[in-house]
Amino acid sequence: CSSPLLRARQTSDVVSSETGLPVRCTDRLLEVDLGDLDGRAWSDGRPWEAYETVRQAWEGGCEDTPLPGGESLSEVRERLYPLLTDPDFEHAAGVLLVGHGVLFMSLLWLFCPNRAPTLQGNYMQGGHLTRLAPEKAGWRIEEFNVPPPGHHTG
């Protein structure tokens, strides 16, 4: 399953061409709506202070706190839950989700009890993989932020 946004579609098309598996696009994998922060550089400083305030609220259990002009964590949960509990998804031998940074940080935070202790600690680099396995209370992270084959750091 892929976000319909260009970068995610390009990634999922590469995977599809290598595996022969079809791509299913879904709005459920769109990036978290950052609202007023969308398109702003971290160097803008002050607007991102609002993100930090909201992130801390989310980590403190206040999932209904929205990003300024954007989504709350509870809205992200409502968007992702139907996808993660889709019968086709649950019974598949494996499913690859292709999406975006804040979305996947939120997914791990919301549905994986063995996640990092902070939302930001669940950040995955672009093109990297995290493998999840189902369990009674959600999903378990089995591998985190694994680079693609042939990826070199440095």
Q: pLDDT category, 57, cuts 50, 70, 90? A: very high
pLDDT value for 148: 83
Instruction: Note the pLDDT of residue 40.
Output: 78
**Residue 43, pLDDT score:** 75
Please tell me the pTM assigned to this model: 0.89
Q: Which residues contact 125 (CB under 8 A, 6 or more apart)?
A: 145, 147
Instruction: Break the chain into its structural domains and give their ranges.
Output: 6-34+73-146
The predicted model gives 125-145 an average pLDDT of 90
Q: Between the CA of residue 36 and those of 32, 104, 112, what are the distances in Å?
A: 12, 20, 28
- pLDDT tens for each residue of 7-38: 999 999 998 999 888 899 999 999 999 998 88
Whole-angstrom CA distances from 75 to 3, 107, 145 are 17, 12, 25
